[in-house]
Every structure is written in structure tokens, then in C-alpha cells.
Chain A
Amino acid sequence: MGSTGEGLGRRDLIKRSAALGLIAVPTMSFLSACASGGGDTSTKGPDKGLVSKENPFGLAKGGKLDVVIFKGGFGDDYAKAWEAAFDKKWGTTSSHLGTQEIAAKLQPRFNGGNPPDVLNDSGAQMIKIDVLAKGGQLADLTAVLDAPSIDDPNKKVRDTLIAGTVEQGTQAGKFVALNYVYTVFGFWYSGKLFKEKGWTEPKTWDEFLGVCAKAKEAGIGGLAHQGKYPYYINVVIMDLIAKKGGLEAMKAIDNLSPNAFEGNPAALAAIEAVYEVVEKGYLMPGTNGLTHTEAQTAWNQYKAAFIPSGSWLENEQLKQTPDDFDMKFLPVPVLADSKLPFTAIRAGANEAFVVPEKAANKAGGLEFLRTMLSREWSTTFAQQANSLTVVKDGVDPSVKLRPGTQSAVAAVKAAGTDTFNYLYPDWYSEMDTDIQNASNELMAQRIQPKEWIKRAQAAVDKAAKDPNAKNNHRS
């Protein structure tokens, strides 16, 4: 029966290779991403052009421009239109890459010293701006701010931007990221549903709970949230804190104060208010485990009254939204004795555009950013991507807006100077993640408000110990 010939050798071979595989496979993917090239410091840029008011960075005609765009909710058609216009004006040849895999595609290029000239660093796989900035990979964009505006050469670019844009893009005192899209955050509801049920827009948290109670009676959820990504419920929690405690409460968190959460009555009131929604059973059933698309689509199907999100929501949900849904924006309602009014909103710039420090055509990158802040390019963006930009009055009045964006614009007007914006998610990724985890536990009723406060404070204290923490401070 049988023989001890090759059969065994083959099996041994399989076993051995399997053993080797056991060692190699789990770490392999990580390792291949790990290899970094040396730092090539020689910058062979194109020839310099003459510096003038029309050409503040001395960009030479001709040459190449390398643009990488995050192809997410806004698509990348707008960028292609920009590049065509840029090429026409400057005689450049643009290469375009639209991708979602920012980190995978760009990390080797940053490490190898051959990054693109313009990068839209965004999306789930973005390279964190704080990490890039710390590594000295980002060019100082202050020159763009101080350059003359394209629409009015007597004005500096700086003066055409909505307030907060510069602050938002500043890392360790240096302006490195142009956050191009103006976003407002808060709750959203269906005008049609509210009209049908005879509900009115709540302005205080008690009224908000009232609508939730009525929704529950009507057999639908009060609040839906994107449970798989606690980022969204954190918007509600943090907005409540900022409104109740004022800008001081917000800055205390960004500045990693030892009593940012612990011993801060505004924080406790806010988290207890959110927990009340959970305790009273006003959450849409199952919402804690849903992805953003699942939760938002359920909300579009009238399964919940409110959902928190930023103003990209309308564009993101274009296909799932019924025609007569009548999407409406609602600033986060206020708690009793809040320092900021109901109309105050979290608003800010996001969608970062950066020019790498080692870009081959740095002048081209800077000029590209300057042109982005022209009314013409801003309008192109609003048309193609259904969103506003950080350029003040940057959209041609002839452009017709969708109902959600329209109500967001109205909210921005009503808010006036009462806007605020947190910086810690950009400054401290780890702290942000820890707080998100705690919020997820709270929404699932596995921890109580007091425990949440403790965990949030622990996350702040941990971030404060980070040696890089001293680089960031807001006043």
C-alpha cells in the first residue's frame, strides 16, 4: 500500500510554506506600506516667471501641474473644469487624479519626496493634516492670503474669505490648509413631514423633546443618528456644550483644559440632555448600529423626525430624497440659560486643499489656490457640487439652490456673527476617537452621563500629555 515517495515531500513542502505564510501574511500588507524613501531635497522647479500683481508667485508659463482630488461626495468634475481653465491661462499641462484612496496613493509620494502640487486631502482615508504639518510636509499658504484677489486686485485674498477659514487651516501657528467648503452643522428635518403632522420647529431642548415624544406617539423615531460613526452624535453633544457654556466652554475643550468636561456644568447639562433622548426611548430603533447612509436613508423614508449632519447631507442624499421631502436645517436647540442664542451655529470651513512643501511646481500650486478663491471658480464649484465655498458672496446670484442648502444659507444669515467651530478633531485625532467611543457607549445605554464625562476628561488629559499639545492653542 502506497509508498514513501514524493507524496510526503510535497506535503512537507505545503506545511512548511504554510508555516512561512503564517509568519508573513498578517504583517505583510502593513510592511509594504512602511517602506519609506529618503528625503530628496533637490527641488528642480520650473523657471521663475516675473512677479507682478497678476502673477504674485512668479509662475512661469508652461510647465506641469500635478493635481490630486478626493473624489467623494462632491465628485471631481469641478476640478477638471478648473484645471482646464488653469491650463488655458498659464499654458500648463495639468495631470489629474481623482481618488478616494488618499493615504494609500499619497503616503509613498510624501515619503519619497515627490508629492503633487495641489492636494485635496479629505475623506475617510485622508492623511491627517496635523500629522502632515508636524512632518514639515506642508507649504506655508500665508502668501496666498496676502496676494491680491483675482476679482479685485486692490483687495487681499484674506479679506474675501468667510471668518474662521484661516483659523481652521492653521497648524502650530502656520496657515497650511485652505478649507474650501463652507459647512454648517446641526439637525435636519423634513418640512413635508412637519407640515403633515402639524409640528413646529423646536427652539429649545424641551420643545425638541416634545416633538420627539409626538413622533414616538405617531409610531416613528424622534432622533436618528449615524451610530456606526459616533462623529455625528458628537456634533450634537459638543454644540449643546458650546451653546450652553459659551465660547469659553468650547475653547476649554480645544485647549485641553483640566476642567474641560469634569466640573463643567455646561458639559454635564449637555450630556444629560442627550441621554434623556435615549432614556425616554426617542431614538429610532436600531439607529445605534447603522452607517451614515443607512440612517440617513431611513430618515428620508420618514422613519425619524431629526438627524444630525453637516450641510453636505443634501448632496449626499440626492438620490434617496423624495422630491417633495422639503429638507430643512435646524440649529441645535438650546438648553435653559444658554449663553449663545438658538440661532448660533457651528459653521466652518472643511475640505482641505494643501500645497506640499516639496511640490515640484509650488508657485503653480499657490496660484491654483488663489484662483480657487475667485468668484468664477467658486461658482463652478457651487454648481457642480451643490455646496457653498468660503469665498464671501462667492456664488453668482443666478445659481438656484436646493431647499436644504437654501435653508442653510438662511441659517447662516440669521446666525450673523454667532458662529463657532471646534478645532480639537483636527488637532487631536486620538482624543476625538476616544470621545466618540464614549458617546457610542452612552447612546447604547451602556454608560451613564457621569461616566461619559469621566471618559471624555480622561481623553483630554491624555492629549494634554502629548508633547505636540503645546503647539496648538486658541484664544
Chain B
Amino acid sequence: MSHVARSKGRAGFIAGFLILPLALYLTFVIWPYVQTFGYSFTNWSGQSPTFGFVGLENYAALMEDEVFRSALWHNLLLLVFVPVITILLALFFAFMVNAGGRSGAGGVRGVRGSAFYKIVYFFPQVLSLAILAVLFGAVYRSDTGGLLNAFLAKLGLVDPAHPVEWLNQPDLVLWCLLLVVVWHGVGFYLVLFSAAMQSVPKDIYEAALLDGAGRGQTFLRVTLPLLWDSVQTSAVYLGIAAMDMFVLVSTMTSGQFGGGPDHHSEVMATVLMRNFLYFGKSGYACAMGVVMLLLTMILSVVTLRATRRERIEF
């Protein structure tokens, strides 16, 4: 059998395996996109199979929709802060747990009790977002029945007659939500980075130690560059979380599908759902869906391009 024929046979073999998933992908992912695109040019109410064609009217209205625009800004804000804060914290903890310990005669290891920390840090990841929303709802509760308010009142930092209405404060609500996402995510990325760090040969660290590198230098010059691929992947995944945010915002904040107070925690998904299911403006909501699709496509390309580095082999 010639070389070419053999590789051809293999290609056919692989294609055979791919046809079914590809068909499923086309039916359940691509086709709905196409449908959404179609609906975005109609005044479909979402509750009836009849609708009229309105051309670009929905997109024109979208340009002037201040609520959607502020939601977009909130998403972008989260897109910057969620990955950066989560990854920095996860990297720091992972480094401390794996290589931050006092170097004994035996070489590189984590701080004392690191095996225990790894498990504890992973806990939040086990909880579903819905449970998380309830949990932090109790933390941020706006009277002294809330954990934070009760705690601050005990310390005398908050007047019990005027507790902080965390999720009802325009300038606090987004940061409160951000904290929940970070709290949820750090553990997972810590474990991910730990695994990556453990695959780094010990002799590199030992060499760095012998050359007199401190913890900070070891981290910046050795660990981080060797982990870059993992960091990049994490950034993309966290980007997904930041572009979505629907579950947390819709359950924790005030308003129909969340977004309150007065649109200060609005994200695109909540505006979309409100228009889609509550206002009966589904065609309009589909236009939002298309805009979200375009934005996320652009962002994913930018993220992958911007974080491209020369690969370090080991």
C-alpha cells in the first residue's frame, strides 16, 4: 500500500467519526444562529408563529437603546476585571501552594499544609451558580440579617439603622457580583495552574534557586513563562463567564431578570431575556443576540492574538 493511499484511508476513517458530531453541531448550534439572524429582522413577539418583516429597524432601535449600551459597558468592564483578578489570585495561590515554601535541603515545595489548601480552595467550584446566588444573597442581605452587615455592625463600622444595601447601591452592585465570580473561580484555576506547575521539571527551579533567585524572581522568570499556555486558556474561559453573567445578575439583583437598581448591574443577557420573554419583543431580542455573537467573536480573536507568545519548550 502506498503512503498516500494509507493516509487517505485514515482521513476517511476520521471523517466517518466526525460526521455525526458535525451533523449535531450544525443542527443544534449553527442552525439556531441562522434562525436568530432571520428573526432579528422581524417583529416576532416570541409567542406566536406569525410575524412581519421590519428590515433593520431592530438594529436601528438597538443603537439608541441606552439600557443595552450600559449593559454592554458592564460586560466589557467585567471582561477586563474577571479574568485579570481571578488569574492573578489563582497564580499567586498556586505558586505558594506548589513552590512558595521555604526551600529546605530537598528543593522546591509548597507552603506548609498545601495539600489541605488545595482541597479547600477547590470547594467553591463544587457549588452551582444557583446555590452561589442564594449563598451570597444571604451575605449581601440589605438589613442586619445579612452576614456582611451583621459583621460590620458588630465592629461598629455600620449603623444598624442604616445598613449598607449592597446590591441596591448603584456604585457597589457590580463589584459585589464581581467578587462572587472571582470567589467561585479562583479555586478551579488554582488547581489548573498547580497541575501545570507540577509538570515543570524540578531541576529548573533548583537551578534558579542555586543561582540565588528569590520567590518573586522565580515566579516571574520561571513559573509564569512556563505556564503561559494555561493562563491564555484560562483567560478565554473567564472571558466566557464575564460575557454571560446571566444567572448571578438575574437572581441576585432587583428587576425583571435582574439588572437593578435602575439598570446599574445590567448585562447584555439580562436585557435580552427581559425583551425576549417579558416585553414580548423577541425579534428585537434576536438582534441583541446577533450583536452579542459578533462581539464575542471579535473578542475571542483579539484575546487569542493578543496573548500569543513564543512557546517555551521543556
Contacts and interface: CB of A to CB of B under 8 A. Distances in A.
A34 B35 contact: yes
Contacts of B244: 25-26
Given A35-B35, A437-B263, A287 B29 contact: no
A298 interface: yes
B142 A286 contact: yes
B48 A25 contact: no
B23 interface: no
B125 interface: no
Nearest to B160: A285
Contacts of B246: 26, 29
Interface stretch (A16-24, A60-68, A75-83): A16-24
B280 A433 contact: no
A21 B274 CA distance: 24
Given A34-B286, A290-B142, A229 B254 contact: yes
A34 B293 CA distance: 15
A211 B37 CA distance: 58
Nearest to A2: B314
A299 to B, nearest CB: 12
Interface stretch (B6-14, B85-93, B182-190, B231-239): B231-239
A113 interface: yes
B218 interface: no
Contacts of A290: 141-143
Given A34-B282, A289-B167, A137 B236 contact: no
Contacts of A134: 45, 48, 280
Interface in B135-185: 137, 140-146, 149, 160-163, 165-168, 170
B46 A440 contact: no
Given A11-B229, A23-B300, A286 B163 contact: yes
Interface in A268-315: 281, 284-291, 294, 298
B142 A288 contact: yes
Interface in B262-278: 262-263, 268-269, 272-274, 276-278
Given A2-B313, A26-B296, A107 B46 contact: yes
Interface in A195-237: 227-230
B273 A30 contact: yes
Interface size class of A (residues with CB under 8 A): 35 or more
Contacts of A18: 233, 236-237, 240
B47 A286 contact: no
Interface residues of B, number: 76
B24 to A, nearest CB: 13
A241 B265 CA distance: 31
B218 to A, nearest CB: 18
Q: Which of A27, A298, A440 has the most CB of B within 10 A?
A: A27
A135 B273 contact: no
A101 to B, nearest CB: 11
B291 to A, nearest CB: 10
B114 interface: no
B82 interface: no
A30 B237 contact: no
Given A15-B236, A286-B163, A286-B165, A34 B278 contact: no
Interface string A435-471: 0111011001010000000000000000000000000
B255 A289 contact: no
Contacts of A137: 47-48
A284 B146 CA distance: 14
Interface-centre pick from A14, A22, A136, A446 (highest chain B CB count, 10 A): A22
A38 B35 CA distance: 13
Question: Among the interface residues B33, B137, B140, B261, which one has the most CB atoms of the partner chain A within 10 A?
Answer: B261
Contacts of B195: none
Contact of A110 (B47, B145, B279): B47
B171 to A, nearest CB: 11
A291 B292 CA distance: 31
B49 interface: yes
B47 A285 contact: no
A36 B49 contact: yes
B45 A286 contact: no
A39 interface: yes
B35 A1 contact: no
A107 B289 CA distance: 19
Contacts of A135: 45, 47-48, 50
B254 A228 contact: yes
A440 B255 CA distance: 10
Given A23-B300, A25-B244, A290-B141, A437 B168 contact: no
Contacts of A136: 48, 50
Nearest to A21: B240
B297 interface: yes
Contact of B49 (A37, A127, A287): A37
Contacts of B301: 19
Contacts of A433: 255-256, 274, 278-279
Given A21-B240, A437-B260, A444-B165, A286 B141 contact: yes
Q: Which of B44, B237, B262 has the most CB of A within 10 A?
A: B262
Interface in A405-439: 429-430, 433, 436-438
A94 interface: no
B278 A286 contact: no
A39 B49 CA distance: 6
Contacts of A36: 44, 49
A53 interface: no
Nearest to A38: B49
B304 A19 contact: yes
Contact of B262 (A229, A287, A440): A440
A26 B50 contact: no
Contacts of B240: 18, 21-22, 25-26
6 tightest A-B contacts by CB? A289-B142, A135-B48, A286-B143, A131-B280, A31-B32, A39-B49
Given A30-B285, A32-B28, A128-B280, 15 more contacts: A1-B201, A1-B313, A22-B243, A26-B243, A27-B33, A34-B286, A34-B289, A136-B50, A227-B165, A228-B168, A287-B143, A289-B165, A436-B255, A440-B260, A444-B168
